[in-house]
Amino acid sequence: MNAVPRASRLWLRALEAVSSIERGTELTFGGVLNDLADQYGAAPALIDDEKTLTYDALARLANLYSGWARQEGFASGAVIALLMHNCADYVAIWAGLSQAGCIVALINTNLTHTALSHAVRASGAKAMIVATTLQENTALLAAECPELLMWRHGAGEGVWPRVEHALTESDDPKRPHAPITNDRTALLIYTSGTTGMPKAAKVSHARILQWSYWFAGLMDTQPGDRLYNCLPMYHSTGGVSSIGAVLVRGGSVYIRRRFSAHRFWPEIVESGSTIFQYIGELCRYLLQAPSQPLETKHQLRLCCGNGLHEKVWRRFEERFRIPRIMEFYAMTEGAVSLYNCEGRPGAIGHIPGFLAHRFTMVLARCDTETGMLVRDEAGRGMVCAAGETGEALGRLDTKSTSPARHFEGYTDTASSEAKLARDVFTTGDLWYRTGDLMRRDADGFYYFVDRLGDAFRWKGENISASEVAAIISGHPGITDAVVFGVHIPGQEGRAGMAAIAVEANFNLAALRQHIYKNLPSYARPVFIRLCPSIQRTSTFKLAAGTLAADGYSNAPLEQLLYDDRVLQDYTACTPATLTEIASGTRPV
């Protein structure tokens, strides 16, 4: 075995880990927690500021929530929304509720008002558990949805009953409503995608297990590992796959509510963390922070994540003496994933020859203006050559028992159908469209290029331009609004920019208040362009192409405003402002 290259050993370990996971069986994550409790008992599993849940305590708490769901009479398939900050109980709640046959919608804690109402409505939730500290965010939701049953979690004053006080022991706490097959939906996780408003992606019990054991193999997790997790737990990486990868091997997770560059290295060292789950933006923040002695005194053996650009990768690895970095590409709802086990800086993944039959992904030629796949005279798709940019497609197999070969879709059927392409290369084939543009080099490594459609990535989050535009357009005095992402030198992803046409009596300060009230911080446009009018296409759609091409650097200065978060106002841009933004001396 020692003669096998390290990357190949990791691949083989991952394949072995998921070999027994098949759709349609009764193996679920909640059931696995009970087995882990039997195996690891008093060992720490989840650690936050307030408590440590051992494996015994985690399984017991999950079973209590499962019993609570039965006691409250939630039918199998009932949706319960979960709005909570990162904490140890978070995993126990979704694991327990899903084991009882419920579907748990993981809600973004940054959402308020309109955006929050949309997310909960899209899930079809019958009930909601909200952190006591987040009750104020739900005022509009509670008024609009009086039929929504509400509980709160955590100490403090509140209107709704505390869910912890309703938990009672059961004669048989491990018993779900009825035997659950793991092809059923366990979670709803929201994604912007590339086709408009945030969509609730279905995540089955089988996919949760697939993620957990696959990453356990690739990360080679062991009982002595401790994961430092500051990523939002309402996302699949921060709340499911990375945590699952450590737990199924008996390790522990050190949970932080949010990322802090100042506290990062002291917490890494104090906690004895061996794995850090990153997004590229966090690595860049750490590089921008002043040097401190503890930054090389850590026990980290692996940093795993996505969005790490080549230059940042090399500097991060060298300055902080990181033994191994594993970049990957995956989508909550998608049937496409890539893994860079070889450690090539800048690459999002590589498919070894001996695994080509399992990773049925191609890069197909795509018209970036229309978003349509390019087809030849026979109506067939065209595969990109090495070095050519194309859209990543993943082949689906509805007959396969492997969770990785299925697209489980969204709660909205039309949105699910929009992600599928049929008869692309052969009659009857079925492909999942990622909406992501990539290129493959001569060595078979893949590199992310950009996103198709109306989505872009900023501050580690996928942002739907059409959603932001809809929120802006809902403000009085706006006649037209288009939103797009713009590149800022030295920044990861693309910052939001809104081009708007307004009425004569328009109130700019009121617009900023509206945006700050209804959009999370990362989705708020950095730039506003005040246009006399916005051109429309022949089909009456707003034409954003020219405006997006201008970006902020080529827009007329008299039309350009910058969201100055120090002055808390939109201020006019000057040449000096643009220079400071480009150099990184003015924060965005």
Which 3 state secondary structure label does DSSP give 563? strand
Highest-scoring range by mean pLDDT, 16-30, 173-187, 271-285: 271-285
Q: If you average pLDDT over residues 24-43, what whole number do you get?
A: 93
Higher pLDDT, 301 or 309: 301
Per-residue pLDDT tens over the stretch 377-387: 999 999 999 99
Per-residue pLDDT tens over the stretch 412-425: 999 899 999 999 99
Per-residue pLDDT tens over the stretch 227-280: 999 999 999 999 999 999 999 999 999 999 999 999 999 999 999 999 999 988
Higher pLDDT, 519 or 405: 519
Residue 187: what pLDDT?
A: 98
Higher pLDDT, 309 or 152: 152
Q: If you average pLDDT over residues 553-578, what whole number do you get?
A: 92
Domain assignments of the chain as residue spans, ordered by start: 353-453, 457-583
Residue 431's pLDDT band (boundaries 50, 70, 90)? very high
Task: Round to whole Å and give the CA distance between 337 and 333.
Answer: 11
Residue 335: what pLDDT?
A: 81
Topology given in CATH for the domain delimited by 457-583: GMP Synthetase; Chain A, domain 3 (3.30.300)
End-to-end distance of the chain based on CA atoms, in angstroms?
A: 50
Which 3 state secondary structure label does DSSP give 187? strand
Residue 29: what pLDDT?
A: 95
Q: If you average pLDDT over residues 511-521, what whole number do you get?
A: 93
Buried/exposed 168-186: b ≥16 CB within 10 Å, e otherwise: eeeeebeebbeebebbbbb
Which pair of tokens denotes residue 208?
């949760």
Q: Are 488 and 495 in contact (CB under 8 A)?
A: yes
Q: If you average pLDDT over residues 439-448, what whole number do you get?
A: 93
Q: If you average pLDDT over residues 496-504, what whole number do you get?
A: 93
Residue 195: what pLDDT?
A: 40
Task: Round to whole Å and give the CA distance between 99 and 66.
Answer: 6
Asked if pLDDT for residue 172 goes beyond 60, the answer is no
Q: If you average pLDDT over residues 64-79, what whole number do you get?
A: 94
Asked if pLDDT for residue 402 goes beyond 90, the answer is no
Asked if pLDDT for residue 540 goes beyond 80, the answer is no
Asked if pLDDT for residue 290 goes beyond 90, the answer is yes
Task: Round to whole Å and give the CA distance between 100 and 78.
Answer: 10
Q: Taking the model in full, what pTM does it have?
A: 0.83
Residue 79: what pLDDT?
A: 98
Which 3 state secondary structure label does DSSP give 17? helix
Residue 1: what pLDDT?
A: 36
User: At residue 240, what is the residue type?
Assistant: V
Per-residue pLDDT tens over the stretch 387-396: 998 999 999 9
Q: If you average pLDDT over residues 153-179, what whole number do you get?
A: 78
Q: Work out the angle at residue 515's Cα, subtended by the Cα atoms of residues 511 and 521, and round it to the nearest 5 degrees.
A: 145
Higher pLDDT, 535 or 408: 408
Instruction: Name which of 308, 238, 224 is nearest 274 in CA terms.
Output: 224
Residue 239: what pLDDT?
A: 95
From residue 449, alpha-carbon distances to 4, 282, 347, 416, 499 in Å are 32, 20, 11, 24, 24
Residue 178: what pLDDT?
A: 61
What is the β-pairing status of strands 430-440 and 445-451?
Answer: antiparallel
Residue 174's pLDDT band (boundaries 50, 70, 90)? low
Tokens 């990768």 correspond to what residue?
Answer: 313
Task: Round to whole Å and give the CA distance between 157 and 254.
Answer: 28
Q: Are 356 and 350 in contact (CB under 8 A)?
A: no
Q: Worst-scoring range by mean pLDDT, 66-70, 245-249, 352-356?
A: 352-356
Residue 399: what pLDDT?
A: 80
What is the β-pairing status of strands 275-279 and 226-229?
Answer: parallel
Residue 177: what pLDDT?
A: 52
Share of the chain above pLDDT 90, in %: 67
Residue 369: what pLDDT?
A: 65
Residue 193: what pLDDT?
A: 41
Q: Worst-scoring range by mean pLDDT, 253-262, 269-278, 291-300, 500-509?
A: 500-509
Share of the chain above pLDDT 70, in %: 95
Residue 170's pLDDT band (boundaries 50, 70, 90)? low
CATH number corresponding to 353-453: 2.30.38.10
Asked if pLDDT for residue 477 goes beyond 50, the answer is yes
Average pLDDT of every residue of the chain: 90
Per-residue pLDDT tens over the stretch 304-351: 999 898 888 999 999 999 999 999 999 898 789 999 999 999 999 999
Tokens 């496409």 correspond to what residue?
Answer: 336
Per-residue pLDDT tens over the stretch 187-239: 999 975 434 457 899 999 999 999 999 999 999 999 999 999 999 999 999 99
Q: If you average pLDDT over residues 484-510, what whole number do you get?
A: 91
Task: Round to whole Å and give the CA distance between 235 and 232.
Answer: 6
